[in-house]
Structure 1
């Protein structure tokens, strides 16, 4: 079996009514007899998992004992497993508040064991849990090392990252037998025969172990040491994503919601990785406290972006900008994240030299971030239109990555007499899809075009049959006739020229075919 990393995470629990009014310094989760999990303050006072309730209260008089909530624990573990699907599709829920991750196939992808475990720990912390992480070649081996690390300071100096089965066998032999999952059931018998470590248990006669403890103990030892297969049922992501979170306190500012929304976004990123999908938008639903009679019960924030993505950090950045521009209608007590704009994810190719597609992807994310900060309506993109009229040949519209262009498919050639033909809707629908920075493959005109067009053509005076713009102008080129726009009621008939004055400055002029009036439409740099 490839290296497996279990995560042991302490879970939030509901505070009982009898403890709600006390000024407790520390908390612990306990059943009817023993402590299950203690927080950091209680742990420092000596309260450890497995201690009796009376012993724990004697060590920490201000200790508040919380009752387990199995349904809430299950939901929390499933949410955490969903977030960890971003690192491996094989996540298993195990006993004793442990998650098992089969990560052998992804070690190179995430930069090795240390880098991967650091990412896992960061994800667990972002989801609001504390974890004790161990790594081993077998699932039960990693589980036992994680329990040893979480159990307490007596084993804090031991090695919890084991990659070789020979090393794992020595590490397991040195661990207390009380860490085994069957130890609580046979605690008295193990004590009577003087079995203190797993090595002591392994060295006992096999027939005697079977008669006293059953076949399960030997099977567990073989699976933990890698001597027997250990098939497991893996956690399956739901077919659709809908995650909710109840806030521990009411939130009155939109910016403060990001900390809680991060947990939902991390779950979304893991779900997208499991579904091999990407997202172009989601909806964050807010549940409000009814502070007044006219306050809405719920509201929503819709967030969308141009290029489909499943990068959690990018989605959180966009959400942060959206929340910074949002004013809450009432205090928020709950969140829900709904994602339905899911598409197939196309992973970037790993090539020696950068490709234009990679540059487009990074620029698309840059434009999305700019749009999130200043407004999508303020990020514009130029489009080439199928029109020979210079003022209609290009348009500026809101940026959308991968948007369909209506670039002219007909060559724009210069000639003495030309009339533009309109394109039908069916022909426009057949236009090829171009990326954001492609140029249409059309031949260049035989006459130059200026880089600067006036927003509105300027009417010129005529002196001695020559147009005048501050100085008399002289035409330098033959006539270029443009007749177009008859189909939309704004038809034009113009004769264009490149002209210059006596100081060498060049201009783009046209003369109306009907009326003979001269106009300046562009300037050459």
Structure 2
């Protein structure tokens, strides 16, 4: 069956064929959604006759790796949006439009990738004149004068063409061949993003929604490119079929990530993981995507040597993907805190909380925590005077890498603390007094100690009470 066949002919060939009335408003919304997605490749997208979109891509060929790579990306985007496209490339807008019409109407099965105006002129001369946008209006006159191709039309006397067809034919030929300017009205992206999609059938599985949501995400990526922005989160709203009297009509899935991004593949990956963990309350018949957490996009630099920002961005995306898979609360990051107390000197927070880390806590006005300088111990203690300080190598690190989750209370043997064996101190006193501002104050004298087998430990003695505790172990 060929385009342009009658209704009776179509029903004769396919009696079970279902015919639908054309909905011009719905078709226009579909083309605007497709134009929004294609803004990811160029800010210059315009509408043309015969359901055609024109993209000016000359300035972005190097960015996307050449003509073939760019056309492949455009074709993949169009397919992701649920459309089939016939794509042609030419130096002029009307030239590309005509070559695309030749392939769409099967006049030619060739994929037209014309880059030079001289090649375009030869290609246009060989095409049927019926492809021109004015051909339907002057079809009978063109047939009577034996004009079969655009080359035949171009070779006719100019005065005769103007007298018979008007000035528009010559102007169109000049614009198609690149001999005259062709100003266009470019499609303008809306100031805010809100895209919706009516599903063709009810969807009962959350995983199956990803195929339809891909169209909305591709539109979002194009809109962000047009706005020179990036996104740190969006909301996917689900419209449900009323399965019961108490089922809500709508629900929503909120996604957020640490580093702003506009990469559609990354956003789809996060959405896929979110949908895999979601159970629908009722079948879904419609989707809507709302994005309001938009920030300025910092484009990556094409430098000879990789910048630190690039590695940080990749690590952030890795954290986001792991968090989407196992849960954000299970992805922790360690941080050093501004606190002398060993049990508070390090904290583990979720990677998202660490991205917006608050300022470190500051003690209130009053007595400040202090560490006694090495070689200048504070007031001597009875236990310290009873210990020897042998000449043995001390640990290279001032703190052990292994801290006990809870300090271990040590027994005493004579004047020495015991951990399996009696311990002997190797350093002078290091005093830590801190924590009065949060109600967890400590007053401790710390030592590096060792047993008779050379194993080293980090322990402290309470200034009040004199009890010894084991805090950590050296490797």
**TM-score w.r.t. length of structure 1:** 0.83
Matched, 1:508 2:458: yes
The answer to whether the 8 Å contact 1:384/1:408 transfers is no
Matched, 1:78 2:32: yes
The residue that corresponds to 1:19 in the other structure is none
- Which is further off, 81-90 or 379-388? 379-388
Matched, 1:523 2:452: no
The residue that corresponds to 1:155 in the other structure is 108
Q: How does 1:44-443 map to 2 (within 5 A)?
A: 47-58=1-12, 60-152=14-106, 154-156=107-109, 158-400=110-352, 402-404=355-357, 406=359, 415=373, 416=376
The answer to whether the 8 Å contact 1:383/1:405 transfers is no
The residue that corresponds to 1:480 in the other structure is 430
Distance 1:447 1:360 in 2: 28
Distance 1:285 1:461 in 2: 63
Going from structure 1 to structure 2, the CA distance change for 1:383 and 1:209 (only over 3 Å counts) comes to: same
Distance 2:137 2:370 in 1: 86
Bigger CA radius of gyration: 2
Deviations 1:80-132 (A, max 9, x none): 00000000000001110100000001111111111100000000000000000
Shift of 1:159: 4.8
The residue that corresponds to 1:448 in the other structure is 398
Distance 1:474 1:406 in 2: 40
- Which is further off, 470-479 or 61-70? 61-70
Distance 1:53 1:230 in 2: 38
- Which is further off, 239-248 or 481-490? 481-490
Shift of 1:413: 6.5
Shift of 1:48: 2.1
- Which is further off, 59-68 or 116-125? 59-68
Shift of 1:467: 0.9
Going from structure 1 to structure 2, the CA distance change for 1:358 and 1:447 (only over 3 Å counts) comes to: closer
- Which is further off, 356-365 or 394-403? 394-403
Going from structure 1 to structure 2, the CA distance change for 1:150 and 1:460 (only over 3 Å counts) comes to: same
Distance 1:180 1:233 in 2: 20
Distance 2:83 2:13 in 1: 25
The residue that corresponds to 2:408 in the other structure is 458
Distance 1:486 1:412 in 2: 13
Shift of 1:65: 3.4
Deviations 1:217-276 (A, max 9, x none): 000000000000000000000000000000000000101100000000000000000000
The residue that corresponds to 1:490 in the other structure is 440
Distance 1:348 1:374 in 2: 29
Shift of 1:174: 0.4
> Tell me, what secondary structure is at the counterpart of 1:242?
strand
Distance 1:414 1:140 in 2: 83
Distance 1:106 1:334 in 2: 35
Supply the RMSD in Å over aligned alpha carbons. Answer: 1.9
Shift of 1:63: 4.2
Structure 2: runs of 5 or more not aligned: 363-367, 379-394
Shift of 1:487: 1.5
**TM-score w.r.t. length of structure 2:** 0.92
> Tell me, what secondary structure is at the counterpart of 1:519?
strand
The answer to whether the 8 Å contact 1:244/1:334 transfers is yes
> Tell me, what secondary structure is at the counterpart of 1:132?
coil
The answer to whether the 8 Å contact 1:100/1:139 transfers is yes
> Tell me, what secondary structure is at the counterpart of 1:155?
coil
Distance 2:449 2:360 in 1: 29
The answer to whether the 8 Å contact 2:370/2:431 transfers is no
The answer to whether the 8 Å contact 2:91/2:117 transfers is yes
Distance 2:10 2:165 in 1: 31
Distance 2:136 2:286 in 1: 39
